[in-house]
Amino acid sequence: MYLLFLALLALPSGQAASPGHSWGYSGSKGEESWPKNYEFCGGVYQSPVDFHQNILQYDSTLQPIKLSGYNVSSTDSFTLSNNGHTVQMSLVPTMKIEIEPFHYTASQLHLHWGQKSTPKGSEHCIEGKRFAGEVHVVHYNSDKYADLSTAMKESDGLAVLGILIEVGSFNPTFEKIISQIQNIRFKNQKIQIAGFGVRELLPERLDEYYRYEGSLTTPPCYPSVLWTVFRNPVIISEEQLIALETALYCTDSNSSEPVEMTNNYRQLQSHGERLVSVSFREGLVLTIALACLLAVLVIMAFTCLLIRTKRSSRKPSDNRNVAYTVAAGVEENTSKV
Ligand SMILES: [Zn+2]
């Protein structure tokens, strides 16, 4: 965290004034070019990362994520918008999470996805596996900061929940978003939708997650995010995923060169010195499997040894029989001479 603080102190004064630069995920404005206009994108503590054994450490102090106000009433409303990079849903400030020692107020959620022909578009990966998509629920530290834009520049400013998406059965809660995206196909279009229980977009288990210090995954890539990525994905149907992958455009409705909104995920970033804390014992299943394998091998080795011992204990009497037969044969032959 101290390094993060130093990194943010090093922010050139002009940096915050560059949100006007356009950026994308491919071509000349793709992520390779982000650091030119957004210095932090080429810096440290960047996200997303891959969660693999070498950098994971179990932390028994990690508590289940505490949500409050997540079951939003249908009398409230959310604004669903196409911002040219993703579909984003504004949230209500009564939605909060607590990650000790701070409370964080929800601001918005948005999604990342791939494309129909390559339906792999999550940002975080587990053991190199990229999932179909990912939801980010963005919160700011409301104990310390007045709003999201102030907090996002501070090392302890943001807390984002990452939810991996996998394909399976139809998801009625996701449908509340997906059924509306036809109305916001083009950049800057927005629509009001009725409030609903955002809790239902999260996996059932809130106690199993990866935790690390990282960044916004889009420009300006500020290293100000305390990441919580849940271990278990949520499931949506293939039809729902295809709707997400094919309905939206990065360009506005007047554009003569429409650009499809696909593959809006950032490549994996270096861990550097960072470790990722895990709230669950990642290796437990593997350990049990290895223990079972070892037990089977020991039993097999013991059985082989037993068989060999039995065989070798039978050999002397066999030899005696052979010797007797040979001797008898010799005697027979001798009598013939
Ligand atoms: Zn995101």
DSSP states of 190-244 as a string? EEEEE--BGGGGS-S-SS-EEEEEE--SSTT--S-EEEEEESSPEEEEHHHHHHH
Can you give the pLDDT at residue 297?
Answer: 75
269 alpha carbon to ligand 1 midpoint, in Å? Answer: 14
Alpha carbon separation from 119 to 9, 238, 321, 335 (Å, rounded): 39, 9, 73, 90
Sign of the Cα torsion 197, 198, 201, 207 reads negative
61 alpha carbon to ligand 1 midpoint, in Å? Answer: 27
169 alpha carbon to ligand 1 midpoint, in Å? Answer: 24
Can you give the pLDDT at residue 152?
Answer: 98
Can you give the pLDDT at residue 17?
Answer: 40
Q: Is the pLDDT of residue 52 over 50?
A: yes
174 alpha carbon to ligand 1 midpoint, in Å? Answer: 17
Do 11 and 34 form a contact (C-beta atoms < 8 A)?
no
Q: Is the pLDDT of residue 311 over 70?
A: no
Task: Give 334's pLDDT tier (boundaries 50, 70, 90).
Answer: very low
Number of domains the chain contains: 1
173 vs 306, residue with greater confidence: 173
Residues labelled as active-site residues = 85
193 alpha carbon to ligand 1 midpoint, in Å? Answer: 21
Q: Is the pLDDT of residue 300 over 80?
A: no
Q: What is the pLDDT of residues 74-117, one digit of tens each?
A: 999 999 999 999 999 999 999 999 999 999 999 999 999 999 99
| Residue 303 belongs to a domain | no
Can you give the pLDDT at residue 305?
Answer: 75
86 alpha carbon to ligand 1 midpoint, in Å? Answer: 8
Tokens of 165: 């998406």
Q: Is the pLDDT of residue 316 over 60?
A: no
| Residue 315 belongs to a domain | no
Q: What is the pTM of this model?
A: 0.81
| Residue 2 belongs to a domain | no
Do 264 and 121 form a contact (C-beta atoms < 8 A)?
yes
Mean pLDDT of the chain: 88
Q: Is the pLDDT of residue 324 over 60?
A: no
53 alpha carbon to ligand 1 midpoint, in Å? Answer: 24
C-alpha to C-alpha distance for 78 and 137, rounded to whole angstroms = 14
Alpha carbon separation from 68 to 197, 205, 279 (Å, rounded): 11, 16, 21
Structural domain range at position 224? 31-285
Can you give the pLDDT at residue 318?
Answer: 46
Task: Give 303's pLDDT tier (boundaries 50, 70, 90).
Answer: confident
Alpha carbon separation from 327 to 206, 314, 318, 334 (Å, rounded): 82, 20, 14, 10
| SS3 category, 117 | coil
Task: Give 326's pLDDT tier (boundaries 50, 70, 90).
Answer: very low
Can you give the pLDDT at residue 21?
Answer: 84
| Residue 48 belongs to a domain | yes
Taking the C-alpha atoms of 35, 38, 41 and 44 in order, what is their torsion angle to the nearest 10 degrees? 110
| Residue 308 belongs to a domain | no
CATH assignment of the domain containing 130: 3.10.200.10
Q: What is the pLDDT of residues 215-240, one digit of tens each?
A: 999 999 999 999 999 999 999 999 99
Q: Is the pLDDT of residue 29 over 80?
A: yes
| Residue 327 belongs to a domain | no
**pLDDT mean over 282-292:** 57
Q: Is the pLDDT of residue 328 over 60?
A: no
Q: Is the pLDDT of residue 329 over 80?
A: no
Task: Give 40's pLDDT tier (boundaries 50, 70, 90).
Answer: very high
183 vs 325, residue with greater confidence: 183
Q: Is the pLDDT of residue 330 over 80?
A: no
134 alpha carbon to ligand 1 midpoint, in Å? Answer: 8
39 alpha carbon to ligand 1 midpoint, in Å? Answer: 19
Contacting residues for 119 by C-beta, under 8 A, at least 6 apart: 113, 132, 167, 241, 242, 245
| Residue 302 belongs to a domain | no
Contacting residues for 84 by C-beta, under 8 A, at least 6 apart: 187, 188, 250, 251, 252
C-alpha to C-alpha distance for 212 and 50, rounded to whole angstroms = 11
112 alpha carbon to ligand 1 midpoint, in Å? Answer: 6
| Residue 178 belongs to a domain | yes
**pLDDT mean over 162-179:** 98
Can you give the pLDDT at residue 285?
Answer: 54
